[in-house]
Structure 1
Amino acid sequence: MRYAYLVLALVVIGTVSIFGFRGSISTKPPLEVFPDMDRQAKYKPQAESPFFADGRADRPLPAGVVSRGDLRADDHLYLGKATNGNFAAGFPASISIDAKLLERGKDRYSIFCLPCHGTIGDGNGITKSYGMGSTPTYHDDRLRKMTEGEIFNTITHGKAAMGAYADKLSPEERWAVIAYVRALQRAQTGSINDVPASHKSELGIK
């Protein structure tokens, strides 16, 4: 009997498909096989709701809630600030100063910083040829003595004619750029005494 119903259903569907009133004009509402799919019991964005005292269907987020993975509790890493609220000196504990970090810093520096600050950080980038002559050199004592946290803050929020780069560089990339800037500064003041004894022979020095 079950198969008889199945065959009957297929015959009816086939007959309606072939001889049905497809394309004809009708004032009747369309046939809804699954009306709960067309008319779901849900609230639309910014809809009203008599259930809540404020009449809003959208509920405010609980106080202090943050997106998963976006807590950013490390002020040194994400703000360049020390626990006392001042700009931090040095790099966050989670940042490892190694060749990989410097290579990443060089890459990001070449894209976002070099046009203004120049290849060696002396402020003689290509933009100077087009009238931008106020770019400072990293080799000025003021910037040499500036804490890493303040440099991080400048990259994040911008300063004077320099725009903010928080939307272009992740916090980790900003620290990588700072590490590369420090390497550029060190390259201008380094001496033979800074070369480890194990590498002096590569320079022909005994």
Structure 2
Amino acid sequence: MSARLLPLLVLPLLAACDGADMASQPKAKTWDANAFFPQGQTMRPPVPGTVPRAEPGRPVPEPAIIDAAMLERGRERYGVFCTPCHGAGGDGDGLIVGRGFPRPPSLHDPRLRAAPARHFYEVVSAGKGTMASYAAQVPPADRWAITAYVRALQLSRDAAVASLPAADRAALDGAR
């Protein structure tokens, strides 16, 4: 068979197609009735033992316990995502301010010290003012870790010496 004849043979087959595309194909939607399945519906229950994927936009409850590992994770994530704007100490003096960007609020501002922890989680999730949302970059558990670290930063500025453990008070006395 000649290579010139092959396109002529394929052409009638292509002409038989009615122009169907992926958008107009027959399909069943989630809540449609479907006689094929025993329950008569298209939606199927999950296979036993499967683990659901977390929805990135869904809020995660505040952790009941904040431990040293969570604070360390929060410190590390704060260093990556927050210090460029808020600075290492949370004063709002990050590198971007020196480059002409608007100064973010100090995390030690009395208004922010009085804000509930959920406020910081939501600001990281949705953004506020000139701060963009970090929901795509920071997973929900890390948002809570950052929130815990921000609280630790806030407490570090206002801790009474008498409330410190004896070893820390002694270290402070030795530093003077």
Superposed pair shares fold, TM > 0.5: yes
Q: Which has the larger radius of gyration?
A: 1
Question: Does 1:194 pair with 2:172?
Answer: no
Q: In 2, are the aligned partners of 1:46 and 1:58 still within 8 Å (CA)?
A: no
Query: Which residue of the partner structure matches residue 105 of structure 2?
Result: 136
- Assess, with a 3 A threshold, how the Cα gap between structure 1 residues 173 and 136 changes in structure 2: closer, same or farther: same
Once the two structures are TM-superposed, the CA of residue 133 in structure 1 deviates from its matched residue by 3.6
CA distance in structure 2 between the partners assigned to 1:204 and 1:177 by the alignment? 27
What is the match of residue 39 of structure 2? none
Match of 1:27 in 2: 5
Give the secondary structure class of the aligned counterpart of 1:46.
Answer: helix
- Distance across 2 between alignment mates of 1:111 and 1:158: 17
52, 55, 66: which one aligns with 1:69: 52
Q: 1:57-80 deviations in whole A, cap 9, x for unaligned?
A: 232223999x962466xx7xx266
The residue that corresponds to 1:16 in the other structure is none
Paired residues of 1:79 and 1:149 also in contact (CA < 8 A) = no
Amino acid at match of 2:133: A
**Paired residue for 2:38?**
none
Deviation at 1:191, TM superposition (A): 1.8
The alignment yields a C-alpha RMSD, in angstroms, of: 3.2
Q: 2:119 aligns with which of 150, 156, 178?
A: 150
Distance of 1:200 and 1:112 partners within structure 2: 30
Please say if 1:92 is aligned against 2:92: no
Give the deviation of 1:120 after TM superposition.
0.4
Q: 1:203 matched to which residue of 2?
A: 171
Normalized against structure 1, the TM-score is what? 0.60
Shift of 1:103: 1.1
Determine the structure 1 residue equivalent to 2:13: none
Shift of 1:194: 2.0
Return the offset for 1:99. Answer: 1.3
Q: Which runs of 5+ in 2 are unaligned?
A: 11-19, 33-42
- C-alpha distance in 2 between matches for 1:204 and 1:79: 39
